[in-house]
């Protein structure tokens, strides 16, 4: 996987990971004090992880990974950004989570980089758009699972990506884009005013059918696919924030899928 997208995306994230660790968005002091970064529905849908070997693909600087560790899992996190892995190792030490393993690698090379299989493979929000090939990704997931192992994914719904960012009511983007999107913009979703240098990156919009079909073709058995009519970011600028931190469309607006979660097992 030596294409240009990999080197540019890696530089993009290597620069941003250290900036994210000090951002209000991730609120590391609150996390160090004991808060979880996992969402309640993830914990409920995953179930008990006590004693399970859990791999978090595209772990960023490890908050979700370490949140699973606090729930009893034996965790490994993998990310292609060296700065993110270094920050994750530091964070694990600072909060006293022993035995957490963090490995630098891109997802497609993960089986060789890790050299073992896991009871659970987890992938969290905003990850899949940074990968070009869902079929190869799903095969990696299957290769990393023990027989009977569980794959759990929580992601933003691809349908939401076709809507205009201002109101989320008008279709302005292709659901079946002909090519990935390459952008060159400073800043980050934690603060668009951040001064950054490595600003070129490429994203892919994968359709729900592509993702689910890839999982099934890799030999995983789908247990459930849940679609959610709320999200965790105010990405349409007119969403209503509830007390639990979720964002919902205004009263009277059509109900639309904005997130989804799925669970699958390896035979």
- Structure confidence by residue, pLDDT tens digits, 161-218: 898 877 777 889 999 999 999 999 999 999 999 999 999 999 999 999 999 999 999 9
Alpha-carbon span 75 to 161, nearest angstrom: 32
Alpha-carbon span 145 to 263, nearest angstrom: 13
The count of other CB atoms within 10 Å of the CB of residue 140 is 21
| pLDDT greater than 60 at residue 2 | no
| pLDDT greater than 50 at residue 135 | yes
Phi/psi at 220 (5° precision):
-90, 145
Per-residue model confidence (pLDDT) at position 1: 41
Which among 217, 215, 50 is positioned nearest to 119, based on CA atoms? 50
| pLDDT greater than 70 at residue 52 | yes
181 in helix, strand or coil? strand
| pLDDT greater than 90 at residue 237 | no
Per-residue model confidence (pLDDT) at position 236: 79
- How distant, in Å, are the alpha carbons of 175, 190, 240, 242, 260 from that of 245? 28, 16, 10, 6, 17
Please list, in sequence order, all residues whose beta carbon lies within 8 angstroms of the beta carbon of residue 38, skipping any fewer than 6 positions away.
64, 67, 68, 71
Worst-scoring range by mean pLDDT, 69-78, 132-141, 253-262? 253-262
Mean pLDDT of 38-67: 97
Find the largest Cα–Cα distance for the chain: 52
Q: What is the pLDDT of residues 66-101, one digit of tens each?
A: 999 999 999 999 999 999 999 999 999 999 999 999
Per-residue model confidence (pLDDT) at position 259: 96
Mean pLDDT of 24-43: 96
For the stretch 39-63, what's the b/e string if a residue is b when 16 or more beta carbons lie within 10 angstroms of its beta carbon?
A: beebeebbeebeebbbbbbbbbbbb
Alpha-carbon span 112 to 63, nearest angstrom: 24
Return the CATH fold of 4-266. Rossmann fold (3.40.50)
| DSSP β-ladder status, 118-123 and 200-203 | unpaired
Per-residue model confidence (pLDDT) at position 61: 98
* Beta-ladder partners of 222: 264
103 in helix, strand or coil? strand
Half-sphere exposure of 248 (CA within 13 A, CB side): 11
Percent of the chain whose pLDDT exceeds 90: 87
User: What are the residue ranges spanned by the domains of the chain?
Assistant: 4-266
Half-sphere exposure of 166 (CA within 13 A, CB side): 3
Per-residue model confidence (pLDDT) at position 258: 93
Phi/psi at 156 (5° precision):
-75, 140
Which among 175, 119, 172 is positioned nearest to 147, based on CA atoms? 119
Residue 30: both structure tokens together? 């609150």
- Strand locations in the chain, DSSP E? 53-57, 74-79, 101-104, 118-123, 145-156, 181-184, 200-203, 220-228, 230-231, 240-241, 247-248, 259-266
Mean pLDDT of 144-165: 94
Per-residue model confidence (pLDDT) at position 77: 98
């Amino acid at each position: 996987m030596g294409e240009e997208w990999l080197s540019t995306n890696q530089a993009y994230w290597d620069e941003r990971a250290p900036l994210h660790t000090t951002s209000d968005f991730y609120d590391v002091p609150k996390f160090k004090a004991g808060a979880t970064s996992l969402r309640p529905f993830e914990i409920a849908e995953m179930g008990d992880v006590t004693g399970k070997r859990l791999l978090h693909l595209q772990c960023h600087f490890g908050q979700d990974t370490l949140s699973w560790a606090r729930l009893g899992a034996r965790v490994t996190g993998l990310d292609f950004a060296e700065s993110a892995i270094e920050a994750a190792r530091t964070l694990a030490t600072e909060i006293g989570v022993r035995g957490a393993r963090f490995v630098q690698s891109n997802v497609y090379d993960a089986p060789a980089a890790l050299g073992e299989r896991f009871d659970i493979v987890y992938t969290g929000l905003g990850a899949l758009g940074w990968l070009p090939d869902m079929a190869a990704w799903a095969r990696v997931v299957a290769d990393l699972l023990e027989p009977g192992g569980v794959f759990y994914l929580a992601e933003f719904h691809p349908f939401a990506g076709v809507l205009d960012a201002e109101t989320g009511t008008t279709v302005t983007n292709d659901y079946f884009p002909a090519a990935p999107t390459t952008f060159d913009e400073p800043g980050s979703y934690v603060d668009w005013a951040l001064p950054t240098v490595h600003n070129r990156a490429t994203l892919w919009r994968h359709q729900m059918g592509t993702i689910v079909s890839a999982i099934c073709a890799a030999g995983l058995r789908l247990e459930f696919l849940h679609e959610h009519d709320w999200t965790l970011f105010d990405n349409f600028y007119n969403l209503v924030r509830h007390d639990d931190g979720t964002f919902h469309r205004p009263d009277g607006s059509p109900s639309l899928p904005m997130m989804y979660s799925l669970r699958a097992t390896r035979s």
